[in-house]
A = this chain, B = another copy of it.
Amino acid sequence: MSSSTAKKLRPQSRHPDEYAHTLSLAETGQPVDRDPHSYERWLITKLLRMSGSPPIAFRLWNDDVVTPDTGYPKYTVSVKDPKALFSLVTNPNLAFGDLYSAGRLEVDNDLPALMADLYRSIHRAREDWPKWLEALWRNHPPRSTSLEDARDNIHHHYDLGNNFYRLWLDRAEMQYTCAYYERPDLTLEQAQLAKLEHVCRKLRLRPGQTVVEAGCGWGGLARYMARHHGVRVMAYNISREQIVYARAEARRQGLEDRIEYIEDDYRNISGQFDAFVSIGMLEHVGKDHYPQLAELIQRCLKPHGLALLHSIGRNRPMLMNAWIEKRIFPGAYPPSIGEFLSICESGHFSVLDVENLRLHYAQTLTHWLERFEQHRVDISAMYDERFTRAWRLYLAGSIAAFDVGSLQLFQVLFTHADNHQLPQSRCDIYQSPAAPEDY
């Protein structure tokens, strides 16, 4: 409850100074009136080849075009100045995003599709990379997620302003996590409500039970659980803006006697509960803190309680893209499924159910990006063009990452190792559609 330790926050919807600051690395290029040198064309050829010859042509600042070795390019990437070219070749993971945000790199066509083709191509090529290239183009371990640093990390992303997120998240419960398209034709709102219902069913909630939620976002799951499943919820979050919204919304819906929103770190959860749930927080916990999280769940889950963790993950251990980790999600690390389940192995837990919703996240992000684009003028007015371009790339790149399978979405249900009151099967989860008929 130590809200006093929270950092002073800027007023909602003002220009995010910290954000602009982090982009300063991508210094603005100057207009260029010279032709490219031959070594610059050679560098682009190398860049394409090292990236596995993706179907991308590069247009240089004098309109010269360099095409890949193989086949016909499907996309054209324009590089506006020689410095942009140099940083792209030496540090593409970080530079691509910074240059795109700064408008020094342009893409002529479908951005998610280009990113997907690029990821696929690099994924294949990487296996043959020489050591020096691996070292040059490497990503870095995520920054600290200690109690103090976690606040900065979360503040950086989640306190950008509720008005911003409201523009493109679902209008049902402001869910900033993967939706559940049990049918492919669901709307974003239906799919987000289906996700909430799906999670409640996996937890086998019964009226009167108690639930603790770690990292509750704008509080939508807590309200859904209280409203539709009659449980009492303690919901933790260190994002001040989200907590303020969550409390107001619970009051508006007359649920304030059943939900307590607590502005505090998940590590300070106390008490015992019938269910532990965390949707989209594990990405920010950091591998080093998994044993601590396991111990916490061990302590606060009743003997017959069920725990559910929902998180972005990987098929195998891999560092986060440098640009995403630096500019978008400081401290983020999506665990491999093995690292994820080490939480269960390090505690005395038994894994009951793992579900992978990877393509559901690609669809969720596609819906988000559509709405984001509809509001791009408003968003540029709220922040600036650089911010809008950075977020467009982040959303498009994420679609691509889930599309090609470089990211996964795991829901893991587990319980104390000696719990005997287990669900007989998963039949009960599927007795009726999870999504409302319309929204």
A residues neighboring B (CB under 8 Å): 120, 180-184, 315-317, 336-338, 341-342, 344-346, 348-356, 358-359, 403-405, 408, 410, 417-420, 422, 424-427, 429-431
In the complex the two chains form, what is the Cα distance from A422 to B357 in whole Å?
Answer: 10
Check B350 against A417 for contact (C-beta < 8 Å): no
Q: A182-B425, A405-B417, A426-B430 are in contact. Are A351 and B345 (CB under 8 A)?
A: no
Check B344 against A341 for contact (C-beta < 8 Å): no
In this complex, which of A181, A182, A404, A430 has the most chain B Cβ atoms within 10 angstroms of its Cβ? A430
User: Would you give the shortest CB distance from A88 to chain B, in whole angstroms?
Assistant: 26
- For residue A430, which residue of chain B has the nearest CB? B430
User: Would you give the shortest CB distance from A9 to chain B, in whole angstroms?
Assistant: 39
In the complex the two chains form, what is the Cα distance from A353 to B338 in whole Å?
Answer: 14
Check A352 against B356 for contact (C-beta < 8 Å): yes
User: Would you give the shortest CB distance from A201 to chain B, in whole angstroms?
Assistant: 12
The 8 closest A-B pairs by CB, nearest first: A354-B354, A430-B430, A316-B345, A405-B417, A182-B425, A352-B356, A337-B351, A315-B350
17 A-B contacts (beta carbon < 8 Å): A180-B425, A181-B424, A182-B427, A316-B345, A316-B346, A336-B345, A337-B341, A350-B356, A350-B408, A353-B354, A359-B420, A404-B418, A405-B418, A426-B429, A426-B430, A429-B430, A430-B430
Check B417 against A349 for contact (C-beta < 8 Å): no
Check B183 against A405 for contact (C-beta < 8 Å): no
By secondary structure, the A interface counts as mixed
In this complex, which of A336, A346, A405 has the most chain B Cβ atoms within 10 angstroms of its Cβ? A405
In the complex the two chains form, what is the Cα distance from A429 to B338 in whole Å?
Answer: 26
In the complex the two chains form, what is the Cα distance from A316 to B352 in whole Å?
Answer: 14
Check B344 against A350 for contact (C-beta < 8 Å): no
- For residue A184, which residue of chain B has the nearest CB? B424
| In the complex, chain B residues whose CB is within 8 Å of the CB of A352 | 355-356
In the complex the two chains form, what is the Cα distance from A352 to B350 in whole Å?
Answer: 18
Choice from B355, B405, B431 contacting A426 with Cβ under 8 Å? B355
Q: A341-B338, A353-B356, A405-B417 are in contact. Are A348 and B424 (CB under 8 A)?
A: no
| In the complex, chain B residues whose CB is within 8 Å of the CB of A419 | 405
Check B182 against A424 for contact (C-beta < 8 Å): yes
| In the complex, chain B residues whose CB is within 8 Å of the CB of A181 | 424-425
Choice from B182, B315, B346 contacting A349 with Cβ under 8 Å? B315
In the complex the two chains form, what is the Cα distance from A350 to B408 in whole Å?
Answer: 8
